[in-house]
Structure 1
Amino acid sequence: MTFDASWWLILVFLFDLTVRILAIIFVPRNRRPTSATAWLLAIYFIPFIGVLLFLLIGNPRLPRKRRRKQERINDYIHDTSEHLDFGTHRPNAPEWFTSMVTLNRNLGAMPLAGDNGAHLISDYQESLDAMADAIRKAERYVHVEFYILQSDASTDNFFRALEEVAARGIPVRVLLDHWANRGKPFYRKTLKRLDAMGAQWHLMLPVQPYKGKYQRPDLRNHRKLTVVDGTVAFMGSQNVTDSTYNLRKNIKRGLHWVDLMVRVEGPVVASVNAVFLSDWYSETDEVLTDEIDLFAVKTGPGDLDCQIVPSGPGFEFENNLRLFLGLMYYAQRKVIVVSPYFVPDEALLNAITTACHRGLQVELFVSEEGDQAVVYHAQRSYYEVLLRAGVKIWMYRKPFILHSKSMTIDDEIAIIGSSNMDMRSFGLNMEISMLVRGEEFIREMRDVEQHYRDLSRELTLEEWEKQPLRSTVLDNLARLTSALQ
């Protein structure tokens, strides 16, 4: 018995119709409209490839077992710290600030901590050396967690500091993202060096199906932090690697990364440490709170109010996005955003343009040159609407990649951390952000922002309207793909 061509056409038609119907049922469920629309377009126009991609990377959540671990550690931290006194808070906080702190707390953040000292480090090598100096003073433990961790000439002092404290018998615990490091320069060398010093290290979010470890492969632990003895911590945007990332293509183009880290002392260090301990537990099943008194906090050399806000696919809500949105709507005078990858969803785009329409001073710092083509073009697709709304766009001059991530609101509130303002950081990356209240810290932020301004050029609407058609096409195509989450 043989099938004629008409039967094959009928079968193909029925298969295509079934895929389309199932896509309408399953794709939009619990997914933001822009993301659902992008996936449906991919499945409708390139059905076989679209379905394959959806099955591979269509689930933005961590595996159920991993989510349950995150929930357990969140509940432990929340319940244990609920009635603790985390320093004295600054007086006369606006009601909206208290409301934001409550929002963060309900979404999984630690309590607001007072009596903290925090100072910015904007020089790349100085940041690495400052962490090394703090590590050498360790007496109880060192916790290191970075998206990218490489032993190279620039980071040698950092690694030597780890070796010195490990040689004294002090526990050194290290977490590094698997996918971000595998196959990169010095990956094997770095792991061997960690082994040789006796560090306890683990890969974050490993994609190792042969070991029973698998989740969506483009989920990332994007956090960057170091904690020493629970008394001093570092966090921000910088990875532990050379400013070129040791990649041949970057070296050939002369690219160097510009980052911003913050050194903190005081009760808020316990919150940074809690993020590390939760990630350690998620990767190892080891509960370190039995040997580390997480809440034995000490007053820091300042009176800043700070709150650590973790976010990522392990949480039910997009904690960082809600924090950014709330602050933009509460701002009264100015909003200044530094983000290397600014690819907003509709809510964030409305928030930043609404700030302009309310008469606020709104500035956005981005890089003149991009290191990731798709993200770079997706970001560019928003420039026109931002410029027309009144956002002042500063482009940090090439060959430098402005990689810092921060936001300042008026003259009293700031955010600094690892989170970009793009849909990947909101939905797929595990991030850490710190909310800070205090004029003295904002003054440091203003100095950094002015330094960036001096090294940037302003993009005008007149210049943007001269963009060639091919650039507009590329930007719009990249904008569509950026919503595939």
Structure 2
Amino acid sequence: MSEIDIWALLLGITHVVLGLLATVLVSRNRKPAEAIAWVMMIVFIPFLGVAAYLLIGFGRLPAHRRAKQREVNELMLRRTGGSWPKTHSPLWPNWLSSAAELNMALGALPMVGGNRITLNDDYLGTIKEMAEAIDDAQEHVHVQFYIGVLDDATAPFFGALARACERGVQVRVLVDHVASLMYPRRTETIRFLDSIGAQLHQMLPLRPWRGQWQRPDLRNHRKLLVIDGSVGFTGSMNLIEPRYHKAKNIQRGLTWHELMMRIEGPAVRELDAVFITDWYSETGTLLELRPPSSSAPTWNGNIDAQVLPSGPSFENDNSLKLFTLMIHQATTRVSITSPYFVPDESILLAILTTAARGVPIELFVSEIGDQALVHHAQRSYYEALLRAGVRIYLYRAPKVLHAKHFSIDDEVAIVGSSNMDMRSFSLNMEVSVLLHGPELLNDLLAVQDGYRERSRELHLEEWLSRTLWQRTADNLARLTSMLQ
């Protein structure tokens, strides 16, 4: 046997062993379709496949960060004293109690009543509203956004932070580390926050030389603002001008359309608990966790709300479990709004099953996408949805519909930062709010009516007529979405 033959034999044996190891190791505690995608990649392109798996193949944060999450969860459960604050539970649909119990088990935060909540889908108007709320701060301002950039659009917000610091208010700011690197004015923003005396920390930093390392695409995608534990904001918007400073967006005329909530009442303290947990993870300092009392006389709203954090710091896919449960409970209507719709198998099955039961389902997505790979993966699901009777509305360009919410039977809704895709379910740290209250649901229905007016409906005949190239791109993109 020649030397070349020996090397070929050794490479062949190595390839077989690598495939067997991949089959055993990759499939451990992983969804079958996802495991098969990884194994195929490692078998057919072994060196690149192994490198990719070592880089992004692990879907949880390091053990010490997960331990901090468990520690704070235990503290949050103890502070409730085993009893839940007052809610309007007699008015709930019969399945909502079990959903609230599920969320409590997953995220350690209770359903609380007595909240007042308003919706705002005016981008610059929301920035102004948040700035005005910060101007009323007396004790602390907690700011947490995936992207935080000081620019002309966000200047009123940052100006309010400066005035708060001048009054002696504690201003704490969290922004995602990798997201900060992807946008301009990072240095100017950091310098400004430092100059006014705000405390800034970057979430999930990638600094291996400091021992700070995890899978690089595990990101903190939450968006929230809390003022004195009494006023809070959360939803889909980032702190940046509505075209994200990207030349391609400006050239195409793209602007983002968002939905944010202003919350007053006991749910604000639960939203603050999410910030406190992330602050503890990044700084090692545990701020005070206030009890979720609803006895304050100013908390006289009629909305029940439950904050649900999710992400790779938890052992479960929290939002995936809640979203799936809710869709299966629908009897009269489901309305979904998601800028990136790449559903997990269980979500897709829930939608198709619910549609087959005769429940009307509508999906609002953007006509055009700002992320080509995700947009093509999303399009690959349209045929199955349309055949099942789901009505798909394409929000007309050049607006990008970036809002993230859905409602069940016009009675219960979720609004938050989570997309209905596998990244938000498993890889991103997200925050969602489960909501019940007739007035709020009516406001959300009005928002959805506005989407419908500004959208065009996609029909199956049109979709089946797309080119072979478009079909191929969609299907290939769908395969990559499984590599989680």
Same structural fold, with TM-score higher than 0.5 when normalized by the shorter chain: yes
Determine the C-alpha separation between the residues in 2 that align with 1:150 and 1:3: 63
Q: 1:185–1:247: 8 Å Cα contact kept in structure 2? A: no
Structure 1 residue 293 corresponds to structure 2 residue 299 = no
Q: For 1:154, what is the secondary structure of its paired residue? A: coil
**Equivalences for residues 58-457 of structure 1 within 5 A:** 58-289=57-288, 293-295=290-292, 298=296, 299-457=298-456
**Equivalences for residues 457-472 of structure 1 within 5 A:** 457-472=456-471
Report deviation, 1:89. 2.6
Aligned residues: 482
Determine the C-alpha separation between the residues in 1 that align with 2:449 and 2:149: 31
Report deviation, 1:146. 0.2
Determine the C-alpha separation between the residues in 2 that align with 1:296 and 1:415: 22
Report deviation, 1:366. 0.3
Q: Quick one: which amino acid aligns to residue 202 of structure 1?
A: H
Determine the C-alpha separation between the residues in 1 that align with 2:280 and 2:203: 11
Q: Quick one: which amino acid aligns to residue 267 of structure 1?
A: P
Q: 2:86–2:112: 8 Å Cα contact kept in structure 1? A: yes
Report deviation, 1:435. 0.4
Q: 1:109–1:307: 8 Å Cα contact kept in structure 2? A: no
Report deviation, 1:79. 1.6
Determine the C-alpha separation between the residues in 1 that align with 2:87 and 2:323: 25
Determine the C-alpha separation between the residues in 1 that align with 2:188 and 2:260: 26
- Which is further off, 121-130 or 293-302? 293-302
Q: 2:145–2:222: 8 Å Cα contact kept in structure 1? A: yes
Report deviation, 1:301. 4.2
Q: 1:116–1:305: 8 Å Cα contact kept in structure 2? A: yes
Q: 1:334–1:410: 8 Å Cα contact kept in structure 2? A: yes
Q: For 1:91, what is the secondary structure of its paired residue? A: helix
**5+ unaligned residues in a row in structure 1: which ranges?**
none
Once the two structures are superposed, residues 151-178 of structure 1 have per-residue CA deviations (whole angstroms, 9 ceiling, x without a partner) of 0000000000000000111100000000
Q: 2:112–2:292: 8 Å Cα contact kept in structure 1? A: no
Q: For 1:264, what is the secondary structure of its paired residue? A: strand
Runs of 4+ in structure 1 off by over 6 angstroms are none
Q: 1:166–1:199: 8 Å Cα contact kept in structure 2? A: yes
Determine the C-alpha separation between the residues in 1 that align with 2:84 and 2:331: 30
Q: Quick one: which amino acid aligns to residue 221 of structure 1?
A: N
Determine the C-alpha separation between the residues in 2 that align with 1:353 and 1:273: 36
Determine the C-alpha separation between the residues in 1 that align with 2:438 and 2:249: 38
Determine the C-alpha separation between the residues in 1 that align with 2:261 and 2:392: 25
Q: Quick one: which amino acid aligns to residue 34 of structure 1?
A: A
Once the two structures are superposed, residues 339-364 of structure 1 have per-residue CA deviations (whole angstroms, 9 ceiling, x without a partner) of 00010121111101111111111000
Once the two structures are superposed, residues 374-397 of structure 1 have per-residue CA deviations (whole angstroms, 9 ceiling, x without a partner) of 100000000000000000000001
Q: 1:87–1:267: 8 Å Cα contact kept in structure 2? A: no
Report deviation, 1:293. 3.4
Q: Quick one: which amino acid aligns to residue 149 of structure 1?
A: G
Partner in structure 1 of residue 33 of structure 2: 34
Q: 1:230–1:294: 8 Å Cα contact kept in structure 2? A: no
Q: Quick one: which amino acid aligns to residue 168 of structure 2?
A: G
Determine the C-alpha separation between the residues in 1 that align with 2:328 and 2:292: 33
Q: 1:274–1:294: 8 Å Cα contact kept in structure 2? A: no
**5+ unaligned residues in a row in structure 2: which ranges?**
none
Report deviation, 1:418. 0.3
Once the two structures are superposed, residues 54-109 of structure 1 have per-residue CA deviations (whole angstroms, 9 ceiling, x without a partner) of 01110011001111011101111112124355234342323211011111111124
Once the two structures are superposed, residues 203-258 of structure 1 have per-residue CA deviations (whole angstroms, 9 ceiling, x without a partner) of 00001101110000000100000000000000000001000011112111111010
Report deviation, 1:460. 0.3
Shift in alpha-carbon separation, 1:109–1:444, aligned structure 2, 3 A:
farther
Determine the C-alpha separation between the residues in 1 that align with 2:170 and 2:162: 11
Q: 1:90–1:303: 8 Å Cα contact kept in structure 2? A: no
Structure 1 residue 476 corresponds to structure 2 residue 475 = yes
Q: Quick one: which amino acid aligns to residue 150 of structure 1?
A: V
Q: 1:225–1:234: 8 Å Cα contact kept in structure 2? A: yes
Determine the C-alpha separation between the residues in 1 that align with 2:63 and 2:316: 16
Determine the C-alpha separation between the residues in 1 that align with 2:317 and 2:480: 20
Q: 1:311–1:431: 8 Å Cα contact kept in structure 2? A: yes
**Equivalences for residues 15-54 of structure 1 within 5 A:** 15-54=14-53
Report deviation, 1:322. 0.8
Report deviation, 1:295. 3.9
- Which is further off, 246-255 or 401-410? 246-255
- Which is further off, 34-43 or 424-433? 34-43
Shift in alpha-carbon separation, 1:296–1:188, aligned structure 2, 3 A:
farther
Partner in structure 1 of residue 8 of structure 2: 9
Determine the C-alpha separation between the residues in 2 that align with 1:318 and 1:8: 45
Determine the C-alpha separation between the residues in 2 that align with 1:177 and 1:464: 37
Determine the C-alpha separation between the residues in 1 that align with 2:92 and 2:254: 42
Determine the C-alpha separation between the residues in 2 that align with 1:166 and 1:332: 50
TM normalised by structure 1 equals: 0.97
Determine the C-alpha separation between the residues in 2 that align with 1:171 and 1:34: 47
Q: For 2:192, what is the secondary structure of its paired residue? A: helix
Q: For 1:364, what is the secondary structure of its paired residue? A: strand
Q: Quick one: which amino acid aligns to residue 360 of structure 2?
A: Q
Q: 1:69–1:282: 8 Å Cα contact kept in structure 2? A: yes
Q: Quick one: which amino acid aligns to residue 226 of structure 2?
A: V
Report deviation, 1:303. 1.0
Determine the C-alpha separation between the residues in 2 that align with 1:347 and 1:193: 45
Determine the C-alpha separation between the residues in 1 that align with 2:318 and 2:217: 19
Determine the C-alpha separation between the residues in 2 that align with 1:197 and 1:84: 41
Q: 1:147–1:239: 8 Å Cα contact kept in structure 2? A: yes
Determine the C-alpha separation between the residues in 2 that align with 1:304 and 1:296: 15
